[in-house]
Structure 1
Amino acid sequence: MTPKRLLQLSIAVALVTIVLKGIAGYVTNSMGLISDAMESFVNLASAMFALAMVTIAARPADENHPYGHHKAEYFSSGFEGILIVGAALAILWVSIVRLRSPQPIEQIGWGLLLSIVSSGFNAALAWVLFRAAKVHRSIALEADGRHLVTDVWTSVAVVVGIVAVHFTGWLWLDPVLAIGVALNILREGAHLVWRSSQGLMDAALPPESRAAVQATLDRFAAQSPDGAQLRFDDLVTRSAGQRLFADLHMHAPGDWTLERAAGLRDALEQALMDAVPGLRVTIQLLPLGMEARAVQLAPNA
């Protein structure tokens, strides 16, 4: 299933969970369930924005964006993180008000049943999103999945808390639980914002991808034809949404023909792309003993 189809499914599931959790919060008058329902509105808004960004990210490269539009997905996860933080602050405010004036919980059975059913939908969708995120290397799908997992654990905590309130009679436990839910949501939102900022600032490839690149370079250096001493240096990598980039220098013997050196370079590029799916490689050919001129950045005035 494509990322667009998955996010459309996420929007549909968010609408269903809003209805179920909203009814659960209304019939029980539980602040924990009400806060859980409020987070579902964030699920809906973030899924809609993620769908828009994934659509933009799928556009092909053009004259103004020669490297494509893949970074649009980082805006999606960043926006979702900001929405999560906003929802957490709203839940904190309402919970503190309720803590000062606790109210009894009503019709617990129906409320818990509706909450458990909606959590089941979110858990199943999160599992699908995580699998698809690995296949498509999509941070938008991963962010949506992480948010849904947070929502599931939030619901579990709320259900446990409501049961505890029912058996202990401690009405203050419900708003205190909602405050804990808000703090957990706040942590997840901050994590998404941080990950998005790293992507927008051209973070390096993940450690496992860098290790695969280095292993391929070492293999080519050790298996050089005719005992030639190949050397690779100035390796630079970056991530941009679904796209991964690597730039490096390949030093070959100066007496090789250009055709021979270029042929080996092409073989290396293919091997690197096979080792790291989605990688785009740029290799500059240099003769052994020649170093590329380093670019010196002027200090800030």
Structure 2
Amino acid sequence: MMSPARDPAPTGVLAPPDPALARLKRRVTMASLCVALALVALKIAASIMTGSVSILSSLVDSVSDAGASLVTLLAVRQAMRPADAGHRFGHGKAEPLAAMGQALFVAGSALLLTVEAVRRLFQPEPVGEGTIGIAVMVIAIIVTLVLVRYQTHVLAKTGSMAVGADRLHYTGDLLINLGVITSIVLSQYLGITEADPVIAVLIALHLLRGAWGIGRSALDALMDHELPAEDRARIRAIILAVPGVKGMHDLRTRSSSVHTFIQMHLELLPEQSLTQAHTIADEAERRLRVHYPDAEIITHLDPMGHDEAVPRFR
């Protein structure tokens, strides 16, 4: 029996993401989730044994990391799906959506932590089992440092916004865990009980600052913010160096984190044939892809000196 005919693949869609980079993203997000879950279990035990609000703050951060890492894992898998007939610009915005979710989740956790820390500031409680707490934090620092180095490697290769947001969390964790160790030493061994909640508040402020940075970057991507000025200047320099290109205008750019989108009008000599103009446009796109290999590039060709409406963008 013949199998039913399949619909032809849609045309005019983005090329699928690089499979090797997709695998890297999936592996690092899975590693991140596993590390977060392991640290949550470790810190729950340490928090119960020590009663330290600083360890509790570190636990809250690890819980938020676990939630964020799970969201990142799902978002990266969605973002890596190739473009289809219903999503011809791809699924790349799943990454900034995940980053925005991470920012909101971390901000909420930081606010709850601040409430608990302020309560402990007015009703201080001694920290017990300091040796256990310090040992747990040292283990957390070592594991987190290994993960951050792996994330840095993947981020350098992929430029993933979701992986970058996850890396920011864990980079902050290194400082947070060092702060918890300081808190335990000051509270248990030097008798400065106020140090525990004060450091917890500082940790919460750090989390809020990180959430703001992540949220702002994610919002830029979701709102189709232009690429940075240095990228736009580079694009202009590349295009204007192409033989036959006499000028350009209406340069518009954006990024979905997975793909970069570049649109522009090229100004060419009016006496050139369509074939010559097409060849020049192809060369311009080829040169751009050397620097932006994941880019979707759209060019519109204008005869130089044509009385066109005033360009909206230069």
Which TM-score applies when normalising by structure 2? Answer: 0.88
Q: Provide the secondary structure at the position in 2 that maps to 1:82.
A: helix
Q: 2:287 aligns with which of 271, 282, 286?
A: 271
Listed as ranges, the gaps of 5+ residues in structure 1 are 297-301
**1:196 and 2:218 correspond:** yes
Q: CA deviation at 1:292?
A: 4.0
Instruction: Provide closer, same or farther for how the CA distance between residues 61 and 291 of structure 1 changes in structure 2, counting only shifts above 3 A.
Output: farther
Give the structure 2 partner of residue 46 of structure 1: 68
Q: 1:26 aligns with which of 24, 48, 70?
A: 48
Q: CA deviation at 1:182?
A: 0.9
Give the structure 2 partner of residue 248 of structure 1: 264
Q: Provide the secondary structure at the position in 1 that maps to 2:305.
A: coil
Identity of matched residues, %: 27
Amino acid at match of 1:257: S
Listed as ranges, the gaps of 5+ residues in structure 2 are 1-22
User: Which whole-Å deviations, capped at 9, do the CAs of 1:253-290 have from their partners, x for residues lacking one?
Assistant: 11111111111110110001112232221111111111
Q: Provide the secondary structure at the position in 2 that maps to 1:2.
A: helix
Measure, in 2, the Cα distance between the counterparts of 1:259 and 1:246. 22
Instruction: Provide closer, same or farther for how the CA distance between residues 159 and 250 of structure 1 changes in structure 2, counting only shifts above 3 A.
Output: same
Instruction: Provide closer, same or farther for how the CA distance between residues 294 and 180 of structure 1 changes in structure 2, counting only shifts above 3 A.
Output: same
Give the structure 1 partner of residue 114 of structure 2: 92
Give the structure 2 partner of residue 119 of structure 1: 141
- Aligned-residue CA RMSD in angstroms? 1.7
Amino acid at match of 2:84: D
Q: CA deviation at 1:295?
A: 8.3
Q: CA deviation at 1:80?
A: 0.5
Q: CA deviation at 1:291?
A: 4.7
Instruction: Provide closer, same or farther for how the CA distance between residues 195 and 291 of structure 1 changes in structure 2, counting only shifts above 3 A.
Output: farther
> 1:56-205, aligned counterparts within 5 Å?
56-205=78-227
Moved over 3 A (4+): 291-296
Q: 265-274 or 190-199, which moves further after superposition? A: 190-199
User: Which whole-Å deviations, capped at 9, do the CAs of 1:215-246 have from their partners, x for residues lacking one?
Assistant: 212322xx44xxxx721222111111211111
Measure, in 2, the Cα distance between the counterparts of 1:275 and 1:190. 30
Measure, in 2, the Cα distance between the counterparts of 1:231 and 1:192. 37
Measure, in 1, the Cα distance between the counterparts of 2:54 and 2:133. 11
- Contact preservation (8 Å) 1:247, 1:283: yes
